[in-house]
Structure 1
Amino acid sequence: METVFSLNTGTYTQPESAITINTTMATDRDVKLTNTIKPILTAEVHDSLVMFFTCTGFFATIVGIISNILVVVTYAQIGYSDTINISYSALGISDLSTSVIRCWGSLCYVFVVTNAHVPFDPTSIVVTTSFFPGQGFEKATAFLTAFIALERCLCVQFPLHVKRIVTKKITVTSIVIIFLFTLIPSNFIHMVFPFKWVFSPIENRTILAMVPLQTPLRYIIQRALLAYYGTFLHFTALIAVWICTVFLAVGLKRTAKIRKDNFKHSNAQQDKQRERHVIKTVFLLAVTYLACSTPTAATMLVPHFVPEFDTSRGLERISRVSHLLSGLMTQINSSGNLFIFIYMGSKFRETFFKLFGKKTP
């Protein structure tokens, strides 16, 4: 008696005496899907796209790791007297973690493309070691962005009371809560996608692979996590960022008008220009976040409407490419913090260049 486990990368067949890898699809459902759905991408185009997105994504993760380390170090030098610096540091830590996990995911696909003889199945273990943990940190970044936008919004709307509203204790507590409800659920995937040592007839050796449990609980947890990260958290954070950004822009415009009416000297004009600059920067952050998050949302939503997107040979190639593209866009968003902070903050820019013994340009 055998139990067959169908994955994107192949099928794991478990006899009573041992666990063996079989590269053929064995279920009737998979055979029917294979016959009815033809591959959208040819093998050559698929391999070229995988190589391109993998290499580009790997380069972006290296940039993200370096840039976010510099962000965290720079804000540590500036200090945490302002609550916004605590939030920016938390954002840097979240983006740094995202970059590290994405770097590992890119390496897994490099191992596949180069046929490296590693002691594990790369496209199998990447699901639980990169994809779901990456989703956790990506959503932490999203909610930290929303929290920062809310904090700035309160500064504009209630300038005289914001110090009592947003204290260091509230800031730290909010950040901890964000990390808890975005990271803890991703660990549930290990309950139904455990690692096992399996024998590969092709390589004639035993390797480590992710072998999903064939129980109803597996499908419940898998779809619940996809809905939680791909729909609920993603769109909640997205809407929150947009709402706070709109209120921030309105508040800044109103403040600029008041200052223009009350102050006629040159400093008033400078304040107005500075505030316009902040408005443009906030909108740039929001548009960048929206543009980079949309591909991820689409990739996460499609399996809910097209279940075969992740299970059939016909759509397997387009599914893998779309996941790589959405991961690349997310990584670009995580890698740009350093450049945005240098552009936005004079104090950050001054401290950053002091780290390298240079004067602020």
Structure 2
Amino acid sequence: MPELNTVPVLVDSTRNVDSETNDTEASNFRVPDGCVVLRLTVSDFVPWDNPENLISQEVERAFDTVTVVFLYILFLISAPTNIISMIAFYKQGIKERINFCMFCQSFADLSYMVFNFVFYSDRLYLEIAKGERRGMMSLFVLDNYLVGLYGFIWWSSFLTMVIACERCFCVVFPFGAQRVLKTRTMAVIILTAFVVIMAGFFVVGSRWGISCVFDPTQNTTSLMTYPREFYLQNRHIIDVLDGLVYGLILPATFDLIVIVTTVITLVKLKRMTSWRESTSSVYRDAGDCSDANADWSFCVVHFL
């Protein structure tokens, strides 16, 4: 998305373009309703042909096309699997704290993938058929301040951290976990985090607007993003939220805690497994090893 200082002047107009500068061409162009005019001088360049860009427009479009195809495939795989997971955890009973956590994480992942799919639903057609990057879905999402729904991915990361901590606490302090970690307590923590994370990302997402732009030099219209007045008035706060909080602090904190708790859990499980094997020859054939295997699988998944 272009920054303010890289966007040429956009001038509102419903009159014939260039009527003040070139009367001979004025009759050839008329600004479409709701569009603004992209005024360019000889030394200007349109944002998508910036000579300082290291990547050409063709390469960027090819990369966008591959990315969108990957998102479509990912949605087709993740949507049904998350729905099945939600049904399974619900049937097992979401009054159990681990089932409640896993249900919420499946819901967060599903919500994120659905929003991503909707946001990019017309991108492949636009890229291939028209060579454009933004269409009606981008207009709908940005006009209605729905970019904040990307916050679901951060809520999912938070839930991954919570689940890793819960499993670690259960392995290290098996008796204390039942007394301290109540389902109601976990629900309050998770829902509070949901409100805080989503609210913050809606603030970050409100920085961008979108407008129809008319280029008189090419006699074409396109959609261009621009920084809203709200962002310009609160630029420092929003930049801190976007770049520092959501870009560095949250992912670094979540990943670090997941790694530490997973390592602790794996070490503890290894010691428990070694102790059981050394004290009981029946352990290798007994069915109670399934719990340890489940915990090992759980740790590996969260570590990945």
CA contact (8 A) 2:86 2:103 kept: yes
Tell me if 1:13 matches 2:10. Answer: yes
Which residue does the alignment assign to 1:242?
Answer: 259
Q: Give the residue type in structure 2 aligned to 1:161.
A: G
Which residue does the alignment assign to 1:162?
Answer: 177
CA contact (8 A) 1:62 1:103 kept: no
Name the SS of the counterpart of 2:227 in structure 1. coil
Going from structure 1 to structure 2, the CA distance change for 1:76 and 1:168 (only over 3 Å counts) comes to same
Going from structure 1 to structure 2, the CA distance change for 1:160 and 1:274 (only over 3 Å counts) comes to closer
Which residue does the alignment assign to 2:161?
Answer: 146
Going from structure 1 to structure 2, the CA distance change for 1:213 and 1:260 (only over 3 Å counts) comes to same
Which residue does the alignment assign to 1:256?
Answer: 273
Q: Give the residue type in structure 2 aligned to 1:20.
A: C
Q: Give the residue type in structure 2 aligned to 1:50.
A: D
Which residue does the alignment assign to 1:100?
Answer: 114
Tell me if 1:283 matches 2:300. Answer: yes
Residue 56 (structure 1) shift: 1.4
Q: Which has the higher helix share?
A: 1
Comparing 167-176 with 123-132, greater Cα deviation is found at 123-132
Name the SS of the counterpart of 1:265 in structure 2. coil
Residue 286 (structure 1) shift: 1.1
Instruction: Write the distance in 2 (CA, Å) between the matches of 1:81 and 1:66.
Output: 23
Instruction: Provide the aligned length of Structure 1 versus Structure 2.
Output: 280
CA contact (8 A) 1:62 1:99 kept: no
Which residue does the alignment assign to 2:124?
Answer: 110
Residue 244 (structure 1) shift: 1.1
Going from structure 1 to structure 2, the CA distance change for 1:53 and 1:243 (only over 3 Å counts) comes to same
Going from structure 1 to structure 2, the CA distance change for 1:90 and 1:29 (only over 3 Å counts) comes to farther
Instruction: Write the distance in 1 (CA, Å) between the matches of 2:262 and 2:268.
Output: 10
Going from structure 1 to structure 2, the CA distance change for 1:207 and 1:60 (only over 3 Å counts) comes to same
Which residue does the alignment assign to 1:137?
Answer: 152
CA contact (8 A) 2:65 2:124 kept: yes
CA contact (8 A) 1:12 1:211 kept: no
Which residue does the alignment assign to 2:64?
Answer: 50
Q: Give the residue type in structure 2 aligned to 1:15.
A: D
CA contact (8 A) 2:13 2:37 kept: no
Residue 200 (structure 1) shift: 4.2
Name the SS of the counterpart of 1:248 in structure 2. helix
CA contact (8 A) 2:154 2:197 kept: yes
Alignment of 1:146-295 (within 5 A): 146-189=161-204, 191-194=206-209, 198=212, 200=214, 211-214=226-229, 216-217=232-233, 219-227=235-243, 228-266=245-283, 271=288, 275=292, 278-287=295-304
Instruction: Write the distance in 1 (CA, Å) between the matches of 2:45 and 2:56.
Output: 19
- Cα displacement string for residues 299-324 of structure 1 (whole angstroms, at most 9, x for unaligned residues): xxxxxxxxxxxxxxxxxxxxxxxxxx
Gap runs ≥5 in structure 2: 15-32
- Cα displacement string for residues 145-180 of structure 1 (whole angstroms, at most 9, x for unaligned residues): 010011111111111121111111111111102212
TM-score in terms of structure 1 length: 0.63
Give me the CA root mean square deviation. Answer: 4.1
Which residue does the alignment assign to 2:27?
Answer: none
CA contact (8 A) 1:212 1:218 kept: no
Alignment of 1:273-352 (within 5 A): 275=292, 278-287=295-304
Comparing 63-72 with 250-259, greater Cα deviation is found at 250-259
Residue 185 (structure 1) shift: 0.8
- Cα displacement string for residues 12-44 of structure 1 (whole angstroms, at most 9, x for unaligned residues): 714377963446777x9989997762x433333
CA contact (8 A) 1:83 1:168 kept: yes
Going from structure 1 to structure 2, the CA distance change for 1:268 and 1:117 (only over 3 Å counts) comes to closer
